[in-house]
Structure 1
Amino acid sequence: VLFELKHMRDVQNEHLTRFVGACTDPPNICILTEYCPRGSLQDILENESITLDWMFRYSLTSDIVKGMLFLHSGAICSHGNLKSSNCVVDGRFVLKITDFGLESFRDPEPEQGHTLYAKKLWTAPELLRMASPPARGSQAGDVYSFGIILQEIALRSGVFHVEGLDLSPKEIVERVTRGEQPPFRPSLALQSGLEELGQLMQRCWAEEPQERPTFQQVRLMLRKFNRENSSNILDNLLSRMEQYANNLEGLVEERTQAYLEEKRRAEALLYQILP
């Protein structure tokens, strides 16, 4: 446990939640991490009142890739439970990955139930087929999970959305585990111009782990899609606010001129009426 805690303390990256501390005294075993006020990526995607243009979506996607690149290159090695509810957004709209490491702190999950199957919608097929999959999962399994999240971000239709089918999480997990031909995967009903993004998703959720790209390769592919890769979401938001302020100033000036013109006409009319 102390070895795992040291690893968590050493993990310092902008796109991973900061580990604050832990309580190891039963029964009050808990982990304390950085708080992100914007909630999870899943919350944001499911909130229809939040408008997400593609600049925003690419920024969130890029943050996941940066965090996973750091995680895969360190002592923790892999996540094992990557999903949209484990991606949280801070006050600056920077996405951070959470719920990694500290396998010794985790209770074994129940073997049945809707909640368990819902959690497995992001799990790679080779891990689903294992009787006792490793708690850390695998790097290829993390890439599969990222592909499922990418479809969530692109369509905003929920996790593992399949066009024309209303399947329960259990039915979806069973079909993925079965290894159908072609493999059972989410829909790719993307708008025009996003074909390369669809191809990236398909590569990420390939049936064979060795056929999936690494996060280093994913980052290179995403750079082709996102021409604003060098700027973060806050820079873009500030730019928009500046543009909005300029437009507002122009509108105020226009309305002021219209008001002065109406005032001039009213005064002219008043002078005509008065003796």
Structure 2
Amino acid sequence: MAHSISLQRVFILGMDGAGSFLEHTETPVIDSFLQKGAVTYRAQAESPTISAQCWGSVLHGVRPEKHLLTNELAASEKFPLDSSYPSIFRLAREAWADAKLASFVGWSPINDGIIEDEQEIHKVSLPDDQLVAALENYLDNNPDVKLLFMQLDEPDGSGHKYGYGPSSPDYLKAITRCDQLFGKVLDAIERLQLLEDSLIILLTDHGGGGADAYNHGSDHPMDKQVFWGCVGPGIDANTQLPPLSIVDTAAVAAHALGLEIPVTWDAQLPNSLFRKV
């Protein structure tokens, strides 16, 4: 296994339900930023392509048949602290008792029932615009945060309302709006001079519109195919990524933080991602 690189912090910045449809609308912030590192629009969501199953895989490093999270469970229960599949947050907390960890989400079940209920994790659940303002304020006061996760919810809500995919203008506008909000977060990271010692992962959990124009959950490519990219030290501009799943996000984050990837995880570190030094 590759040696970890021990960066100062990791940001995992996500939007819900955007699939790979960034290719069909204006996303100048994300496009420009990911040119500095690695990006693919052919990464794969986990099945079923539903938010709890997919964000659960992103954060816990295992596939849905192992973490067993569903939207209903995430909304009603706390993730068990004795799970064999710790989230990247629990991994970081066990390594650093005093590290600052934060999760900002538009869909509250991520904070309520997907990320373990650790009091030391700063959790905020708000609508997208208010969420980004709260995140900016948090970063100004906590530039030494070790791990920060963000999930914007607007694309998925627009997909359910207006339909997913390139033929839905209102859905595409929601993705473009999220690109602008991503820009505010990335500007704050740059203003605080955190880029040089941080890994920043940008991704979505699933797409939609495959089997049902107003829904997701199937293995249709419109539901399954997603964008995924990252920028940081050790990653060359225009790095070509091998096929990967969103579950691999946890391994990439753990590696960047210098944490050992649990043997219980399905997450794998993409071979070509980090420059060999």
Q: Given the two structures, how large is their TM-score scaled by the length of structure 1?
A: 0.27
Query: Which structure has the bigger radius of gyration?
Result: 1
Please identify which structure carries the higher strand content: 2
Q: Given the two structures, how large is their TM-score scaled by the length of structure 2?
A: 0.27
Q: Whose relative contact order is higher, 1 or 2, with alpha carbons under 8 Å and at least 6 apart?
A: 2
Please identify which structure carries the higher helix content: 1
